Structure 1
Amino acid sequence: MDFKPYGIVPPMVTPLTDEGKINEPALRKLVNFLIDSGVHGLFPVGTTGEFYALSNDEFRQVLEVTLDETRGRVPVYAGVNHITTRGLIELAQIAEAAGVDALSALTPMFLTPNQNQIYAHFESLAKNTGLPIILYNNKPKTGVDIAPATAARLAEIDNIVGIKDSTGDMTTTEEYLRLTRNKNFSVMMGRDTLIYAALCYGASGAVASCANVAPKIIVDIYNKFMAGDHEGAREAQFKVAPLRIAYNLGTFPSVIKAGLKLLGIDVGNCFDPSGPLTDEETSQLRKIMVEMELI
């Protein structure tokens, strides 16, 4: 399969109305803001998109609106995440019918499957879709790991083309790269503070939640690195760090949604119980964004 995940791909927030419905006008505005800022793809309904709170109909709606507004300008990756293999395949088939370019599939959560079961989970997905698949390891959130050796086995499957690594463990990232370096398989960094480091190791890009709010800075890390400007790429990496560290001001992804509101893109609040930031927390975030020259 020729599809190669690369560059900066924001895992988009899901804009909501005050009533908790999908805010289509805000979603369309976000799509254009990100594309106009130079991102290389869009990734709706991932962790940042609160996938766990969406019904299948809402999942489909977000994908259809995103695809309609994107109009083929960049690839659209759909997050397909479920505890069960059956549920995973169902979401993948909805996404494929909607017309997305690729899938990103998180490990099961809550359960503790062994590595053979992890392999079988993703192998079943690959057999039930014709789309390229990017595996997604977020062990800090799910408690479930995709071991590097398992990723290397899965990389032998034609339509499993890469992995997003959000472990924050550079040894894991390095091992993904080392064990798959002779395969048609890409590693995307999923921890925003480690994008430059991952590129130095050979990663093909990043799925970066901070790119919702600071897309041009995150894109600079990648573009400058690819142009051979390592100092410029490193400085862009340093510049975005305070925003990523500020995530502890609220319950994820409330800081990202608050940041977008400060930029004039009102994406609403998160699903409860991830409530909005307090006035004091918003003030702290505003100060960070002013220092980053975002506002």
Structure 2
Amino acid sequence: LSDGIKGPIMIYNWPHGSGIEITSDLAHRLADIENIVAIKDSTPNGEQFLNTTKELSGKVRIFGNFMVPANLDFMMRHGGDGTIGGGSIFGRPDTLYWEQVWAGDLESARKHAERNLALLEALWLPGGWAGKWGAYQSQLKAIMAMIGVPGGTVRAPRLPITNPASLTAIRTILTEFGLL
């Protein structure tokens, strides 16, 4: 693949969608391939994510869950480059977090990281890749609709969340966090 592409390549570790986990060892081998410049690491294995980040930071860009307090601290010590993903639903405060990190205003960034962690824990099962009321994509699409962000509907085989009690529970959390 790298031989046929003249531009930069980002590899994506998404075991929930691919059925393949890119371990730290495999990430090392892939990072040695010409044109591989970044890894988006969406593993639910937090220890592996941190190991991959620590080992490859500076060699390739690492994107992942750096918007929680413990991972903010880790990123400041060991490296990491940002977040790419659909789980960041605060909007402008999410981008402001990164501006604060880059400017060295870690106190302000930490406040958002704490708020983000609380929201993640309220909406998602441990590991972050399953919603409490439906599949990750199904729950995220429901959230997007509630907060007024166009996102369409889930694609098969995923199903939309239609249970009124589930939708009410999600809406209640979004209201508590000032998103509605």
TM-score, structure 1 normalization: 0.50
Report the Cα distance in structure 1 between the residues aligned to 2:5 and 2:50, rounded to whole angstroms.
29
Report the Cα distance in structure 2 between the residues aligned to 1:180 and 1:272, rounded to whole angstroms.
35
Offset at residue 197 of structure 1 (A): 4.7
Would you say 1:206 and 2:83 are equivalent positions? yes
1:173–1:187 contact (8 Å) kept in structure 2: no
Q: Which has the higher contact order (CA 8 A, sep 6+)?
A: 1
Q: Equivalences for 1:33-52 in 2 at 5 Å?
A: none
1:280 aligned partner, one-letter code: A
Deviations 1:9-68 (A, max 9, x none): xxxxxxxxxxxxxxxxxxxxxxxxxxxxxxxxxxxxxxxxxxxxxxxxxxxxxxxxxxxx
Q: What value does the CA root-mean-square deviation take over the aligned residues?
A: 2.5
Match for residue 115 of structure 2 among 216, 224, 239: 239
Would you say 1:294 and 2:179 are equivalent positions? yes
Q: Equivalences for 1:216-295 in 2 at 5 Å?
A: 216-245=92-121, 246=123, 247-277=131-161, 278-295=163-180
1:270 aligned partner, one-letter code: V
Offset at residue 154 of structure 1 (A): 2.2
Offset at residue 131 of structure 1 (A): 2.4
From the superposition, tell whether residues 147 and 206 of structure 1 become closer, same or farther in structure 2 (CA, over 3 Å).
same
1:285 aligned partner, one-letter code: I
Find the counterpart in structure 1 of residue 53 from structure 2. 177
For structure 1, list consecutive stretches of 5 or more residues without a partner in the other structure.
1-124
SS of the residue corresponding to residue 207 of structure 1 reads: coil
For structure 2, list consecutive stretches of 5 or more residues without a partner in the other structure.
124-130
From the superposition, tell whether residues 292 and 251 of structure 1 become closer, same or farther in structure 2 (CA, over 3 Å).
same
2:63–2:82 contact (8 Å) kept in structure 1: yes
TM-score, structure 2 normalization: 0.78
2:57–2:79 contact (8 Å) kept in structure 1: no
2:175 aligned partner, one-letter code: V
From the superposition, tell whether residues 272 and 178 of structure 1 become closer, same or farther in structure 2 (CA, over 3 Å).
closer
Would you say 1:138 and 2:14 are equivalent positions? yes
Report the Cα distance in structure 2 between the residues aligned to 1:154 and 1:141, rounded to whole angstroms.
19
2:66–2:82 contact (8 Å) kept in structure 1: no
Deviations 1:160-179 (A, max 9, x none): 00111111334323332333
Q: Equivalences for 1:104-123 in 2 at 5 Å?
A: none
Report the Cα distance in structure 2 between the residues aligned to 1:163 and 1:238, rounded to whole angstroms.
25
